[in-house]
Structure 1
Amino acid sequence: MTQQEFIAKIAPAAAEDMRRTRVPASLTIAQAILESNWGKSGLAVNANNLFGIKGTGTAGSVLMPTTEYVNKQPIKTNANFRKYNNWSESIANHSALILNGTRDKPTRYHGVLGVDYKTACYAIKDGGYATDPEYPKKLISLIEQHGLAKYDVDKSDKSVDKEIPLKLEDWERESGLKAIDSLAAKGLLNDPETWKQRLIDDPKGVLEELPWLVFTLLDRATEQLQKY
């Protein structure tokens, strides 16, 4: 797979994801390139993990070597990384992580939402996504070298740093309602009927609060894009 083929494969999902979540598509694509070495890294090949996200994914986890920076010095170590069934799951989970952050700081990555690509590249580093001090510069270089900023525009030709109203299509709403039922059945969500009404009245607010609902809708969106 060539570099342009890699970009072409993930750009539609990244652009659609940006329209829904305000995570710049250029950032998503650049991170995927850098973290996965154009989809050729062991983590991407063995675990469909494009972003180097640690923990447990939809298909479990995989132990892989990694380089961390301590006091700006590289340290070799091993860590468990999330494993996915496909790249679309990885992209969706990447956006869910940015939207929902971590338990200790849910808003840690919100600095990337709805901003220009340069601001987003520094904000993702400031949020603690990577320990490499040169991380923002590497992302910006990739975006500018490959013209990735062109994907930061929605179908209405509005730039990503503008507020884009979120509306759910019928199939998206149905997927969201089913996801809420599933979360409630697993004991992960109380008062599902209230959440269903909120999904209809305030979809953006609900998607920001429920990471697995975001995951479900983005995965379905990717499936829809692949049909065209």
Structure 2
Amino acid sequence: MKKLLCGLLGLAFLASCSSKKNFHQQNRQIEKSANKQTSGNYTNYTVASYIERFKTIAVKEMNQYGIPASITLAQAILESGTGKSDLAKYANNHFGIKCTSDWKGKGYYKDDDQKDDCFRVYKNPEESFRDHSEFLKRKRYAFLFELDKNDYKGWAVGLKQAGYATNPRYPELLISLIERYGLDRYDRPEGKYEKIQREDKVLADINKNIPNEAKKDRPKDVAPIIAGDNYIVQQGDTLYNISKRFGLTVDELKALNDMTDDTIKIGQALKVKK
């Protein structure tokens, strides 16, 4: 029995060593490829030059999805060490985004919350910025897209609430960077209907990404849930799509329900008949 136990422990140790060796080998291959691509000349960014380099793509992502450009830039500066971290240099990963079960690309391994955590590898920094937006289009972050796209404080607090980072000071770190470097100058307000249409599109995308078995949305061929003259708000609803469903304008729907903003909650009863 002793021999068997020792043998099993030995195999486990060898497997662990082999796994670590594979991780280190993959990292070396990624580093070698990055060194070849850049000839070993990595940009030594200052905060100012980093902002200048990536501000345009941050604004582009904001206009498409509603994530404040200031938040995107502050997260990138913080997570990448202003582009100086190994993840940024070798893996083009500027947001510390880890591998998930749906990630099909390469992985770069480093100790983080756990030993040898897997981080996503991108072809270029722009791909990292785009994936940052796509990564946030998940159920856990859905409520953030209902914020104004220049509400950087709401986004900073919400990212922590949704579990993006474990550091309890994460919101104040982001807000401090935004205000120190004036990153909110890249944020833009949006009109009421522009906001509703943008929310509608992003939330529809998020609902598509939720596996069917996890969805709580009613099937499209099922009648809306009505209680008297009221409609019961379901997951994925916005004022815009509810108003369209019942032949109302958004303003009419808000007036019927004495609403002063566009916030609605799952299970809320909304009057939909004049």
Into which bin does the TM-score normalised by the smaller protein fall?
0.5 to 0.7
Change (3 A) 1:117 1:82: same
How many pairs align? Answer: 159
Which residue of 128, 144, 154 corresponds with 1:112? 144
Which residue of 59, 65, 88 corresponds with 1:15? 59
RMSD: 2.6
Q: Secondary structure of 1:109's partner? A: helix
In the alignment, the residues of structure 1 paired with residue 187 and residue 196 of structure 2 have an alpha-carbon distance, to the nearest angstrom, of: 12
Q: 1:94 aligns to what?
A: 132
Q: What letter is aligned with 2:107?
A: S
Q: For 1:75-107, what per-residue CA distance to the aligned partner results, in whole angstroms no more than 9, with x for missing partners? A: x733000000011111111101111x2xxxx2x
Q: Is the 8 A contact 1:65 1:78 kept in 2?
A: yes
Structure of greater Rg? 2
Whether 2:172 is the aligned partner of 1:137: answer yes
Whether 2:89 is the aligned partner of 1:45: answer yes
Q: Is the 8 A contact 1:58 1:83 kept in 2?
A: no
In the alignment, the residues of structure 2 paired with residue 42 and residue 140 of structure 1 have an alpha-carbon distance, to the nearest angstrom, of: 25
Q: What letter is aligned with 2:142?
A: H
Q: Which consecutive unaligned segments of at least 5 residues does structure 2 have?
A: 1-44, 210-274
Q: Secondary structure of 1:81's partner? A: strand
**Greater relative contact order (Cα 8 A, min sep 6): structure 1 or 2?**
1
In the alignment, the residues of structure 2 paired with residue 12 and residue 165 of structure 1 have an alpha-carbon distance, to the nearest angstrom, of: 23
In the alignment, the residues of structure 2 paired with residue 21 and residue 89 of structure 1 have an alpha-carbon distance, to the nearest angstrom, of: 16
Whether 2:104 is the aligned partner of 1:65: answer no
Change (3 A) 1:210 1:48: farther
Q: What letter is aligned with 1:60?
A: K
Q: Secondary structure of 2:116's partner? A: strand
Q: For 1:93-123, what per-residue CA distance to the aligned partner results, in whole angstroms no more than 9, with x for missing partners? A: 1101111x2xxxx2x1123323310110010
Q: Secondary structure of 1:49's partner? A: coil
Runs of 4+ in 1 over 3 A off after TM superposition: 56-59, 157-160, 202-211
Identity of aligned residues (%): 39
Change (3 A) 1:38 1:143: same
Q: Is the 8 A contact 2:142 2:203 kept in 1?
A: no
Q: Is the 8 A contact 1:21 1:95 kept in 2?
A: yes
Q: What letter is aligned with 1:111?
A: F
Q: Is the 8 A contact 1:58 1:85 kept in 2?
A: no
Change (3 A) 1:110 1:208: closer
Q: Is the 8 A contact 1:18 1:24 kept in 2?
A: yes
TM-score of the pair, normalised by structure 2: 0.52
Q: Is the 8 A contact 2:142 2:206 kept in 1?
A: no
In the alignment, the residues of structure 2 paired with residue 93 and residue 36 of structure 1 have an alpha-carbon distance, to the nearest angstrom, of: 15
Which residue of 103, 115, 118 corresponds with 1:77? 115
TM-score of the pair, normalised by structure 1: 0.62
Q: Secondary structure of 2:129's partner? A: helix
Q: What letter is aligned with 1:16?
A: K
Q: What letter is aligned with 1:83?
A: V
Q: What letter is aligned with 1:109?
A: Y
